[in-house]
Structure 1
Amino acid sequence: MYAISLGEDGAELRPLEPWLAEEFLTHIDRGREFIGQHIALPDRVTDLESSRALLQSYAEKAVAETGRIYGIWADGKLVGGVLFRTMDIEHGNAEAGCWLEPSAAGKGLVTRAARVIIDWAIEERGLHRVEWQVSAANEPSIAVARRLGMTKEGVLRQSYLYRGKRHDIEVWSVLAPEWRAAKQAS
């Protein structure tokens, strides 16, 4: 299995595969409340079977090139992840997302990991547009979109029904020419 370094602090990005279901579940359990503030991942991963099923679904998406999931490890411990919820190679679009347990917050891990997968999607897979959909109340995730150089396109008002309440979703994106220009400028 391969790992991609996320910097001098030793953090790594690795594929999250079905055989890691137990470690994934343990990670979700550690951050269940924090992660579940804005996304349904902890509601979907509740036991070993559901953990394995979610990771298997992403393994199948990877084969079909319709999605991918990666874990972020810090000090040898799974602490978060990034993913392509959707990928449409034919039309050149993908939707990226993230999650993180509280112990890893504020260290730039998600931004660094998202930068790696977005760069791969644009440069290796030839995607033209990467989208980031985020609850308008999720300030840390909005800050990641800004740090990635994404543009806020608009708000889908009350479009996300989560835990019995409707939430606004902000849509952010970056286009391949913008991504490349920002890379050259830095």
Structure 2
Amino acid sequence: MKHLFAVELGDDGALLGPLEPWRAEEFLAHIERGREHIGRYIGLPDLVTDLESGRAFLRSYADKAAADTGRLYGIWLDGLLVGGVLFRTMDVPRGIAEAGCWLEPAAVGRGLITRAVRVIIDWAVEERGIHRVEWWAAADNTASVAVARRLGMTREGVLREHYPHRGRRLDMEIWSVLAPEWRAAR
């Protein structure tokens, strides 16, 4: 599959590119493959249950991109959509963005999320002037916490029982990296 606007994430065939509403069928198929795995800590699979809800989710991020308040990117491995990274929120005037991710099980353990988030943080800091990038992760989500550590983020604290998810309340860790720290680490 060709991508007009894509960034290679290494030499393993992984690509990062915009995840747009016209990809709703591909997006839904991806969510179906990873529904239980993805849904352990985030609500995305509970929002995307059919083609129309998938299209609506993608459209909401197209609207955020147009308003400059968020971004959504897919990760493709050998032409197959296997995950995504996003700026769930972007407040450009205040210089704050919250990054996030998800991945289906077949793509776990390859460093795809860390590589993709590096690309979007570089863009946010260098092109958009974002000063602070946040990473919120369920405290039990060891993979997400490990990504924050690999990115050189600082753990700022825990919001106890903050996120209601599938009948329980999850503790959320807040991690961040500031633009000067990001540049110094590169």
Name the TM tier (shorter chain): over 0.9
1:97 matched residue in structure 2? 100
User: Are 2:176 and 1:182 aligned?
Assistant: no
- Structure 1 stretches of 4+ moved >4 Å: none
Identify the match of residue 27 of structure 1 among 30, 33, 38.
30
1:50-69 pair list within 5 angstroms: 50-69=53-72
User: Are 2:145 and 1:142 aligned?
Assistant: yes
Whole-angstrom CA distance in 2 between matches of 1:53 and 1:135: 25
Whole-angstrom CA distance in 2 between matches of 1:52 and 1:62: 15
2:41 matched residue in structure 1? 38
Residue identity over aligned pairs, in percent, reads 72
CA drift of 1:63 comes to 0.6
Amino acid at match of 1:36: G
- Show CA shifts across 1:97-148 (max 9, x none): 0000000000000000000000100000000000000000100000000000
Amino acid at match of 2:5: Y
TM-score under structure 2 length normalisation: 0.98
CA drift of 1:164 comes to 1.3
CA drift of 1:10 comes to 1.2
- Show CA shifts across 1:13-68 (max 9, x none): 01000000000000000000000000000000000000000000000000100001
Structure 2 SS opposite 1:90? coil
Q: How many residues are matched? A: 183
1:67-146 pair list within 5 angstroms: 67-146=70-149
User: Are 2:157 and 1:154 aligned?
Assistant: yes
- Unmatched tracts of structure 1, length 5 or more: none
Structure 2 SS opposite 1:56? helix
1:12 matched residue in structure 2? 15
TM-score under structure 1 length normalisation: 0.98
1:163 matched residue in structure 2? 166
Amino acid at match of 1:170: E
- Unmatched tracts of structure 2, length 5 or more: none
Structure 1 SS opposite 2:11? coil
